[in-house]
Amino acid sequence: MVGYFENSVKMLLTVQGLHLPDLPIKNRRLIADLIYFDGALLSYYRDNGRGHYLYYWCDADESHNRWLVVQVGDYALRSFLARQITLRQLLLRAERTHTYLLDVDSDGDPAHILHVELADLPDDYLPADETWYDASLSVFTDHLAARELMSMMQDSLQEAQSKLKQIEQIVSRVPEAFEHTPVVS
């Protein structure tokens, strides 16, 4: 048994997809590392068209880091930031036309780019079911980026408060409805 593991080299998993020469997301700007622990694990980018892109670290070998890059909708991102959905749920709601695996070399340059279907990814490439947003793990690129993200979170909170008020109004009317309902014996 000695020696079997001495020469073992971690390899990136083979995934089906369409090889691309470049990542078709242009003019993107890093807003924040939403999960940062000894390095970025989930990064949030915006493009000039105000599209939301997440880069989720999912694998590595000796010379590359692999990122799952997905475009997500505004409402889904706000729901994640407000802790209404998990990271896994957010990624699974990604825009199907904008889902990529990006292998980055040790210099930070793209080495391989695949357009992929989420259904074709190994389950290990997706976060655990209970991965919730935790603001204490976020690192912002600048004050403007922090304000932009805080604004999104406030919008989400205001939306949730509005829904809560609607629910409270409905619930408060329930006893009235029972008072006026004749009881049949």
* pLDDT value of residue 173: 67
How far is residue 36's CA from residue 138's CA, in Å, rounded to a whole number? 6
DSSP string, 37-79: SSSEEEEEEE-TT--EEEEEEEEE-SSEEEEEEEEE-HHHHHH
Going residue by residue through the chain, which has 185 residues, state the pLDDT in tens, using 9 for 90 and above.
Answer: 344 444 456 789 999 999 999 998 888 888 889 999 999 999 999 888 778 999 999 999 999 999 999 999 988 998 998 899 999 999 998 877 789 999 999 998 999 999 999 988 999 999 999 999 998 888 876 666 666 666 666 665 666 667 667 677 666 666 665 566 565 65
Domain span at residue 93 reads 19-178
* pLDDT value of residue 1: 39
32 bridge partner residues: 44, 140
4 falls within a domain = no
82 falls within a domain = yes
Q: State the total domains in the chain.
A: 1
How far is residue 54's CA from residue 136's CA, in Å, rounded to a whole number? 18
11 falls within a domain = no
* pLDDT value of residue 47: 86
* pLDDT value of residue 165: 73
121 falls within a domain = yes
* pLDDT value of residue 26: 84
Angle at 119 between CA 98 and CA 86, to 5 degrees: 75
